[in-house]
Amino acid sequence: MPLALLDDQGLEHLIGPVLRIGSQGANHIVLADPLVSSVHATLWDQQGTVYIRDENTPEGTFVNGTKIQLTSLKRGDRVQIGRSLFQVEPARPSEAVATPARPQPKKAGGWGKILAGGCLLTIGGCFALALGGFVAYKAQILTPESLMNLVGLGPGDIEVVNFRDDSMAVSILQLDVPEDSGPMGTSLDMNPYDVRRWRVQNPGRYRVDFVSADGATDLGGCTLTVRSGNYYQFVTMPETIVIRLKDKTPETGADLVVSSSTLCR
């Protein structure tokens, strides 16, 4: 069941693909409050789980009294932004909208026959291409993933290796997000010497942030452009974070350090 935010006046704000809260008029929820930033927080529903992200605001975003950067929400959670308090509850059912009747297609005339012939030729060509692709696939010359990578639509991979003596949390969040959908992302809770990998289904720009397990210490971050077919590896150490692109030797030593690497731009 979809969730919604209920404000202190009982108004319901449905959490759909994306819901933005801030003081600017372009937000879905506009709060005229000096404690609220222009774009203060973003919520979205990703495969049935609702997430909230603070947009690096000075005053912060609080869930159940705890200041957060990125976390999931559930029924009954209380979200505080500035002086406004919201409650997470199941959305009220809305009335169904009747689907208009589909118009009957008109009969094709002479031009319709010509177009039909052209369509048949196109279908024949597509069939030939499909047959060739099937033969290549059976011969293991071509795989679905390699084909997607050839056209720049295949996934990438991000691996994190924790060589620190303490636990930490890693958040990965999509930056280039279509207006009608929510950002892709994940959170990784890592113990010392853990190795975790996340497959990025939609290549593009992502923000990767590293914090201590209690959230009190910012360990570093990287704005990474994930490209189709690439494998990125982060190695966290006591004093620094190393990044490398698998199967590629960096040109300089600075390219291995997150704070100066050309991969983090």
pLDDT at 22 (0 to 100): 93
Within the chain, which residues score under 50 in pLDDT? 95-104, 108, 141-142, 149, 151
pLDDT in tens, 4-46: 999 988 899 999 888 899 999 888 999 999 999 999 999 988 8
| Residue 13 bridge partners (DSSP) | 5
pLDDT at 101 (0 to 100): 41
Question: What radius of gyration, in Å, describes the C-alpha atoms of the chain?
Answer: 24
Instruction: In whole angstroms, give the CA distance from residue 133 to residue 116.
Output: 25
pLDDT at 203 (0 to 100): 87
Give the pair of three-digit tokens for residue 212: 């201590």
pLDDT at 201 (0 to 100): 84
Beta-carbon neighbour count of residue 16 at 10 Å?
18
Q: What is the SS3 assignment for 255?
A: helix
Nearest to 159 by CA among 235, 257, 70: 235
Instruction: State the residue for tokens 């979809």.
Output: 2
pLDDT at 129 (0 to 100): 60
Instruction: State the residue for tokens 């409050």.
Output: 33
In Å, how far are 27, 30, 107, 109 from 119, measured between CA atoms? 46, 51, 17, 15
pLDDT at 76 (0 to 100): 94
pLDDT at 42 (0 to 100): 92
pLDDT at 108 (0 to 100): 47
On whether the CB atoms of residues 202 and 128 are closer than 8 A, the answer is no
- Does residue 132 come out as left (phi exceeding 0), alpha (psi in the -120 to 50 range) or beta? alpha
Instruction: In whole angstroms, give the CA distance from residue 81 to residue 7.
Output: 11
**pTM here?**
0.49
